Structure 1
C-alpha cells in the first residue's frame, strides 16, 4: 500500500469503529482521534504515526482486535504502536507508561492524546470534580512518560 494512503485507511477504520460513540462531554467521539492525528501531523509525525493516532483507541474502546487491523492492511509497526497505547485491564499505570515509552510512535501518539485530553476547550465542558480528577491523572501520566 502506498504510505500516503495509510492515514486515510486508518481514518476509515477509526470512523467505523467509533461510530455512535460520544466522549465525556457528549461530543462525537471520532473528533478526539481526529484531533490527535492532526496534532501528530503538525508535530511532523510519519504516515505510520498519523495512522496510529487515528487508531489509538480502537483496541481499547471498540470491538476491534489487532488481527482485524492486520487483515485490513495496517502495517505491524502501526499495530505495535496502537498496542503500546492500549490500556490493559488491571495493569498498573507505571507499567503502562513504561510500555508506551518503549515505542517511539506510541509515545508521540500518547503525548498528542494527553494534549487533547487536557486542552482547555475540552476540559471546560466537564464538571469540576471530573476536571480536577482527570487533570491530576494526566499530570501523573505525563510525569511517568517523561521519566
Structure 2
C-alpha cells in the first residue's frame, strides 16, 4: 500500500506543469487541501492529495488501485470527482453521503475560497465562484461535525472561521 509520502510524489508528478486559475502550481492546491485533513489520518490526507487527479490528469481509479493506493482512498476520490451529466449542486449533495468525502470537499472549498487567491481572479469570475462556494458550504457544513469543519478551515482558510461561527451561533 502507498504511503502519504509516496502519494505526494505521485501527485507531484501527475500535476507537474499544471497551473491553477491564478497561475500557481496545481500541486500546491492539493497539498493545501491535504494539510487540512492530515490530522484525520493518512487515508484522508492521501484523499486530499489525490482529490483532483482523476478529474485533471490521465490517472484513473483503476490505475490508482493498481499502484497501491488503498481502496478506501480511491473511493473517496471517486466520490468527489465531477461526473458528466451531474450538476455541481447534485455533486455536492452526493458527496455528503460520505463523511470522508464531505471532509475532503470542505477542505477543497476552503482552499478555493481563500480571499487572497480569489482577489487575483477577474471580478465576474470571483463573484461567480464566491456564490458557488458559499452555496456549497451551506450543504457541506450542515452535513459535517462542526468541530471537524472548524479544524479543517482553521488550517486551510482561517478567514472562514467567522462565517462558520456566525452560522453556528445563528
Structure 2, unaligned stretches of length 5 or more? 144-170
More helix by share: 2
Residue 28 of structure 1 and its aligned partner are, at CA, apart by: 0.8
Which moved further from structure 2: 73-82 or 13-22? 13-22
Question: Which residue in the other structure is 1:15 paired with?
Answer: 12
Which moved further from structure 2: 16-25 or 137-146? 137-146
Over the residues paired in the alignment, what is the CA RMSD in angstroms? Answer: 1.3
Question: Distance between the aligned counterparts of 1:132 and 1:81, measured in 2?
Answer: 29
Question: Distance between the aligned counterparts of 2:71 and 2:132, measured in 1?
Answer: 30
Per-residue Cα deviation, 1:101-137 (whole angstroms, up to 9, x for no partner): 1122111110000110001121121111111010001
Question: Which residue in the other structure is 2:66 paired with?
Answer: 71
Question: Which residue in the other structure is 2:155 paired with?
Answer: none
Off by >6 Å, runs of 4+ in structure 1: none
TM-score, with length taken from structure 1? 0.91
Aligned residues: 142
Structure with bigger gyration radius: 2
Structure 1, unaligned stretches of length 5 or more? none
Residue 95 of structure 1 and its aligned partner are, at CA, apart by: 2.4
TM-score, with length taken from structure 2? 0.79
Residue 93 of structure 1 and its aligned partner are, at CA, apart by: 2.4
Question: Which residue in the other structure is 1:59 paired with?
Answer: 54
Aligned to 2:26, what secondary structure does the other structure show?
Answer: coil
Question: Distance between the aligned counterparts of 1:117 and 1:94, measured in 2?
Answer: 16
Residue 92 of structure 1 and its aligned partner are, at CA, apart by: 2.1
